[in-house]
Structure 1
Amino acid sequence: MSNPRPKAKDDQYPSKPGKPEKISIESTTCTISWEPSTGPVDCYEVRYKIKTSKTWSKVQTEGPQCMFTVQNLKGRTAYNFQVRGIAGSIEGPFSYVSEPYETKVSLAWRLMQSARKVEDGSPAKYKLELDEKLSARNEKAKTRKCVLGEFGNKRLGVPVGEKTIMMVGATGAGKTTLVDGMINFITDVALDDEFRFTMIDLTSEEKNKESNQAISQTEWITCYQICHQEGCKVPFSVNIIDTPGFGDTRGIKRDEAIVEQIRSFFTTPGDIGIQTLDAVCFVVQSPLARLSPSQHGNIPPVLASLKEAEVPFKEHFSFNNSALFVDPTKNKTAPMFWEMGQESFDIFFRNLQTVQTKSLQLTAEVLVERRQIELNIKSLQEEIKVGLHTLHRVEIEKKIIKDHEKDINANKNFIFTVPQEYFVKVMLPPGQHTTTCLRCNRTCHDDCTYLDNDEKHKCFVFNKRGFCTICIEHCYWREHVNCNYIYQMRVRHVTGELKELRQKYQIASNEKEKHEKFVKAVTVELNKQANEVWNKMKTVRKSLQRLSEIALRPNPLTDVEYVKLLIENEKREAKPGWQTRVQMLEELKQRAQIITEMPEKKSQLWETVKAKD
């Protein structure tokens, strides 16, 4: 047993830090922050426990930072947290115990409710419910697409990136197990969950060959489209193209047929084919000392069909899926191998995020435009949230002015309270880079590939001339740097008095009909703010339409549909201030409906914003 750290005298140890508070929480992680201890602090010890338990787990921060993300928590479980400062061998006192914070229901648990159990056991095996896109089915070439989730991210409201990988390898190389490992990682299945997912969806023709290990059971090329949704462990949608195994007992003619299948999939336009590709995963069993005959040579046979596309290979990754379907309560090594597998997938998908998408049917310019539009939409969504809060504040000011008519006309001072927006710096986890404008104090890209400031001009937010398409002043790329934080909006309540309202709306104390002028001025401001919010929403909606056009996927959204989408997103996320934003969005939806139903009339949306007498 190790000796405990010596206790110090009262004036030597770090003081009691502030009570931990939640910054963000997911199904398996919780990020907390606290007020620092006084005195020298090398690091903090964070301890946590399930609310109903008496057993604490503990972990140390790497330095004296006062924010930490606790990992490997259970979903749908309330936790308490405490922290204390450590200086050398001296331990400070623990903070007060935090409020209980409950982790979210994991995406995996939600998906399990609609999945079909295909095998009993501990863990049980569930088949995910996939929707085949019949419009993308090619009977002749035997290619198809199956979708998990809602493609196009309508539910999220903000488009996310999309990465496409193709799995190739010899029969029995382990592609199916690797795909299952990926889907369990992406959907956030935890080691102590009593279930695991399998995703491979065989046709009836393929199921007849399941028992014959010498023949590849996969006859069709299937693209599994895993749509990004709340709770995903990767920040983008993933398309996994599963191909038939090379080198089975049917010989070279079968291999040539597979090559032709791949060629057809890559060259067919529209939804039947594939527009872009990010990576080719050449799957080889790690115990094999040599490549099999079908893998031997300068270029494996499967790559012949990709030569014209000039697909680059830049990395190799080792995966250990031995703990995927093992009962962790009966196998002592399962937690170790599970952690190794999770780390491997995390490294792989982080690397995949940095890979430049290869166009198969679109030009490079269109790919850049698509990424710029996605980033612009994300930025505008945040501006819309700020605008909705500003709109709400002006409405409150209007009500205050109407309620204090006598005081205003008599120049009698009064005190009032209104919500006010402000921005705070939120620290990022190690490895996440930003593109931040120092001139505008704005995070233009919150997850940028380029760490080196001298390479910032390569970031997608800059146009061909090097000017930012996101920040307010559209500054030159040299004004942008990588930071370890992002700016996030918060809302606080502040007090004010009559003279501040006079100054804001430029109403002199000796003017006649002061109250009437106040109402008129605040109504003008209300209409101005409403128009700004609406114009940004129109821009987002048009951008979404442009994305649909260049992605060759019809996905038109009307103004009313887009506002409904934002309302659903706000209700689902339930972030601070969501009720206010929903209230403002409901008013926007009503006005959008008026315009939709009266297209012939030359009326502006906010003509219907009237003074509430």
Structure 2
Amino acid sequence: MANRLSDASSSLNDLIMKGQMLNPGPPARYRLYTTRSDLEKDGKIRKWTFGQKYDNPQNKTVLMVGETGTGKTTLINTMVNYFLGVKFEDKVWFEITDEEKRAQTESQTSEITVYEINSDEKHSSLTIVDTPGYGDTRGRDKDTEIARNLHQLLIHGTGVKELDAVCLVLKASQNRISDRLRYIFEGVLSLFGKDIEDIIVLFITHSDGGPPTNVLQAIEKEKIPCCHDDENEPVHFLFNNRQSEKRTKRYEYVYKSSWEMGESSLKEFFEFLKSRQAKSLTMTVSVLRERLQLEACVESLKERITFTEAKQKELAEAQKSLKLNKEKIENGEDFTMTVTIAYKEKVDITNASWWDQKATSCRECKENCHEYNCWAAINAAWCHVMEGRNCTVCNCPDSKHVREARKYVIKQRKEVVTFDQLLKKYTNKDNATYDEECFRKMETKHGKLLKTNKKMADLDTSLKRLRAENEEQKKSLVKDAYMAIVKLSEIALKPNSAFTIQHLDFLIPRVEEAGTAEWVQKLKNMQREARESTKSAVGYFRRVVGFFSGK
């Protein structure tokens, strides 16, 4: 149990009694006793609560985003100490984070941590949402998982419903936005609605107290959306990150200056919060859900286009065989033809990564409607691609779907067939539609030839019709993906992010094939506008994906 300080105020002693001493200091370091609750049963969204909750307290909620090494953890603890009223002269430092546990879990998971601090004196609370660093060496799957966890936090009954600030954490020494950091910002900002921009601020760490010129210039150059002050500078706050270091008499002034810098910045920050209206996350939830559906739609589109193209090849091959063997067919010769058949087969996926071990598929269409990162839903009806009891990918009712550790894969096989088998396969009948009685009376060679030619004509017509239907289906799928991307761009703060651009690369050639010039131009405009600010982020994204896919 922690020891009381004889010269401390009663409120400070009360805090000390609610923590475990880590180091006698000075400053004496304590870890606050907290209560953990998991908003999801798998522990991917965890909440640590300190202090007694009050009915209808005044609350401020901030979201922290930053790379490993920027001092985000120290910054969170700095905010906690400020909110609880701890002063430099108190010679104590309280921590709500657990560095050892964080180090163990962050290398394995994508947990989102919510810290809720309740102040007895203020009868108010502060909620800090800490997101793991995007774009680390665990790749795209981990980043996508973070997005889904954040989505779950926003829609959970006791989750976060509004935000007072989004804090982008940067080191003062940064004079450029790295590919990785840009990728992080792209990923986070793509999750929010456009109305969130005026509450995005910069927390600049490891600062000497001087103007952070390099960082601000880098932010402006990269056009990172954020709030600007009256002088048109990005709203920013400075921190030194030395508050918890053991103090010595020789450097007392350095530690005091560091503390005062953080205290002054947080005073300004909380004043800033008073000047802003908290943002409802209704639009953000819409963006997240739309993005999840877009991902699933485009992934399904890629598969379905691949399948239709394989079917086109199959049908073209059948037509070619029909033409090449026309004389043999007319002569009634006994022969066979080889055709490459495209088909789908359900396979086991239990050996996939745990977040890909279950997929939502449609029994009616034989389509994978949500193949990747479909781990959160308890059944197909709860899958993110479902809306209004129907699937947003294939439009079939949710009752036609199943969520299981199996998915459809496209396969091909060689089939040796006779002309009659080919006829039956593609016309769904043994004989063509004409007057059988008439031809039965015509036993002449000419009559038989007419009958054979009619069969061949029917088969050719059927093959052409099937190819046309395939092409129309492909156009319809391209239209669905186009509409999803356009809708996302209308509501997202950062619509031209690396996450969206990688889909444009795939979609534009297909839209061009469909011959819709206006759509092509719109997508190319989106791509061109994003190229300068996201080129490196997309490159980083592809390098990460390539590394983990072995490509």
Normalised to the residue count of structure 1, the TM-score between the two structures is 0.39
Higher relative contact order (CA closer than 8 Å, sequence separation 6+): 2
Structure having the larger proportion of residues in helix = 2
**Which has the higher Rg, Structure 1 or Structure 2?**
2
TM-score by structure 2 length? Answer: 0.42
